[in-house]
Amino acid sequence: MRRTATGADSIVSALIDGGVRVCFGLPGIHNLALWRALCDSPIRLVAVRHEQTAAYAADGYARATGSLGVALTTTGPGAANTLAAVGEAWASRSPVLIIATDIPSSLRRPGIYRGVLHETTDQAAMFAPIVKETCRAQSADSINEDIRSALQACRTLPHRPVYFEVPTDLLDAPLQNDVLTPCNGEDVLMSRPAHLAGDDSLDRAGILAARAKRPLIWAGSGAIDAGEEIADLAERLVAPVITTYGALGALPKGHPCLVALPPHTDGAGQFWDDADLVIAVGSDLDGVQTQDWAQPQPPNLITVNLDPVDATKNYHAQVTLTCEAAVGCRELARAVPQRDGLEGLSTRLAFTRKKVWEQLDPGPRRFLEALSHALPDDAVLVLDMCIPGYWAAGFWPPSRPRQIQVPLGWGTLGYALPAAIGAAFSGVGPIVSISGDGGFLYAPGELATIAQENIPLTIVVVNDFGYGMLRDGGPQGSGSSYGIDLLTPDFQALATSFGIKAETVIGLGERFGDALARHVADPQPSLLVALGPSLVPPPNTSPEWYRRR
């Protein structure tokens, strides 16, 4: 017999209509109705072992696909457990939808803490600073409309997480008409293109760009899907392109205009210093990328951004094109004449890269060579805030957008393994997470998730027996090893105990590269431990930044 449709069914039907294929969550008595509704649906529910993982996995999925990621949690502590991960998604501008329950609406008295199980006086307020919007389901019959508007808010550019709260009693409540609202087809759209305002900003930008002798393009995360348009503009202007962590891969490796170095190296920094015009696309020119604004104000700055306030909060811009990155770059390219000298720029960039690489220590160079040897062109790297993660983020050249994930929005240690679980559902290529021993130990319980769900993933743990980044003598050294050196488990035995294949190698050189290649070729989940002293932190690590020394 068909059961009566409930508020939970209404949410699930909106998710299905919205193209959601996978959710990450952890159950509680308050949200079990959603589990029941999902059980009868085509959406895969991945049962994780901590709510923080649910939100990181949703973020990892969102970054790998460009589509929204969905995390489900129960009331109070369950919701609160996601906060660090939601903050990372907020700072990295990732479209993540958090669906959390609240205590029954019949028991809540606004502003009064009554002591209902899992009650928080104002649960949504915990999320307010780290989401774009907080939404609350008002009644069983409005749930469908409420969740659809949350989905739409999450998809609309600029991306940020959205928090959707539903009182638990509404999930089980029968829909009055027992009818699920059908999809009107609108909310499958990721976003609507934003067009240039009809003022003179494009004309002024065109004049500035045409006059510039040494233009530079600075691409931020808002430019991640505008690679083609950025490449056209760069080729037309014969301008080098620097990509921030969020825009890695926007231009493919080998593109003649791609600097392919982090702006924290003096070689790349020189292009900023020499530029008489910077065109910042989809970037807020934040502290992490600009060495806390030690990069000088450029003589001229054009910003291309959906949000003009964001575009100009850190540097003064002569002109702002308020539009999507692709639209702004396309229009600007049309407004400037084609220049000569592309080959010369490409040679100059290759020379700069060679010089920077020659100055790198042999250890990290061997590690980067091992990565290049081991990883196929379609591999996706999900990195943690560990020394090898910083090296890969700064120097491993991705072939396409969304191939490398770095938690350097908020700088959240513990990102890589849980986010890689989400990325593994993107279906884009072999997924490799790289964590230090400290970062991995945030979520070792997820080995159970990976084994139970048979999630195809290569997990790399670099065990230097402590928080290497903070080690005595290191750049962020505390001056003591107190609380920095860590007891670590036998990671290989740990993984094996969950039924996951595991192997240990010494160091991060050739043997590591060979082992990694084998693991990546294996479709089964597996763990590779690299043992021994880690690398020195790279120049893209604060306070190694050359402008801050």
Ligand X SMILES: Cc1ncc(C[n+]2csc(CCOP(=O)(O)OP(=O)(O)O)c2C)c(N)n1
Q: Which residues in this chain contact ligand X in the complex, by CB under 6 A?
A: 84, 384-387, 411-414, 435-439, 464, 467-470, 534
Q: Which amino acid is at 111?
A: G
Smallest separation (angstroms) from ligand X to the CB of 72: 22
- Contact between 284 and 313 under an 8 Å Cβ cutoff? The reply is yes
- Contact between 391 and 365 under an 8 Å Cβ cutoff? The reply is no
Smallest separation (angstroms) from ligand X to the CB of 529: 12
Smallest separation (angstroms) from ligand X to the CB of 390: 8
DSSP state of 283: -
Task: Report the SS3 class of residue 40.
Answer: coil
DSSP H helical ranges for 103-155 = 123-127, 143-155
Residue whose CB is less far from ligand X, 1 or 487:
487
Query: Is 213 exposed, middle or buried (CB count within 10 Å of its CB: 0-12, 13-18, 19+)?
Result: exposed
Smallest separation (angstroms) from ligand X to the CB of 543: 13
Smallest separation (angstroms) from ligand X to the CB of 471: 8
Residue whose CB is less far from ligand X, 194 or 470:
470
Identify the CA nearest to 513 among candidates 414, 412, 392.
392
Smallest separation (angstroms) from ligand X to the CB of 386: 3
Residue whose CB is less far from ligand X, 432 or 469:
469
Give Dmax over CA atoms of the chain in angstroms: 74
Backbone torsion region of residue 282, taken as left when φ is above 0, otherwise alpha when ψ lies between -120 and 50, otherwise beta: left
DSSP lists the bridge partners of residue 529 as 461, 504
Smallest separation (angstroms) from ligand X to the CB of 259: 26
Smallest separation (angstroms) from ligand X to the CB of 428: 25
Helix orientation angle between 201-211 and 325-334, rounded to the nearest 10 degrees: 60
- Distance in angstroms (rounded) separating the CA atoms of residues 319 and 310: 13
- Distance in angstroms (rounded) separating the CA atoms of residues 191 and 323: 13
Residue whose CB is less far from ligand X, 446 or 464:
464
- Distance in angstroms (rounded) separating the CA atoms of residues 293 and 548: 10
Residue whose CB is less far from ligand X, 61 or 467:
467
Smallest separation (angstroms) from ligand X to the CB of 512: 14
Angle value at C-alpha 246, between 96 and 423, nearest 5 degrees: 50
Task: Report the SS3 class of residue 470.
Answer: helix
Smallest separation (angstroms) from ligand X to the CB of 467: 3
Residue whose CB is less far from ligand X, 385 or 392:
385
Residue whose CB is less far from ligand X, 411 or 456:
411
- Distance in angstroms (rounded) separating the CA atoms of residues 138 and 165: 9
Residue whose CB is less far from ligand X, 158 or 411:
411
Six token digits for residue 195: 């067009």
Residue whose CB is less far from ligand X, 101 or 433:
433
Task: Report the SS3 class of residue 379.
Answer: coil
Residue whose CB is less far from ligand X, 207 or 470:
470
The continuous run of DSSP H or E covering 278 comes out as: strand 277-281
DSSP state of 3: P
Six token digits for residue 259: 């600097």
